[in-house]
Each structure stands twice: as structure tokens, then as C-alpha cells.
Amino acid sequence: MEVGGLLGLLVLAADIYAIIKTIGSGASTGAKVIWTLVILILPVLGVIFWFLFGPSERAIAG
């Protein structure tokens, strides 16, 4: 397996995880759609932005 293939697989796994967590969050429907589109259009940067600024579970527990 190539390093590029392994890296691509890790990015795909991170994208899927971020999308699942976003859909299951307590954010509004519009925010969920925007975050999902950002993650799909910018796979690497989208996950980084989601990790830093996306909807968190802490907001749900409140």
C-alpha cells in the first residue's frame, strides 16, 4: 500500500467521522448542511476547521 493511499484512507475516515458527528449534533439544520458541505468540498481543511470550530457535544450537554 502506498503512503498516498494510506493517507487518503485516513482523510476519508476522518471525513466520515466528522460528518456523522455533525449530523448527530444539536446544531441547527442549516449549520449541519453547511458543515457537511465544507467537509465534502474541502476534505482536509474541512475536517481541520470542523475540529476547531464545528458543533461540539459540550453544547448539547448544557
Q: What pLDDT score was predicted for residue 5?
A: 83
CA distance 54 to 28: 12
User: Across all residues in the chain, what is the average pLDDT?
Assistant: 85
Average pLDDT value for residue range 13-19: 94
This prediction has a pTM of 0.79
pLDDT-above-70 percentage for the chain: 84
Provide the domain count of the chain.
1
pLDDT at 61: 43
The domain in which residue 35 lies consists of 3-61
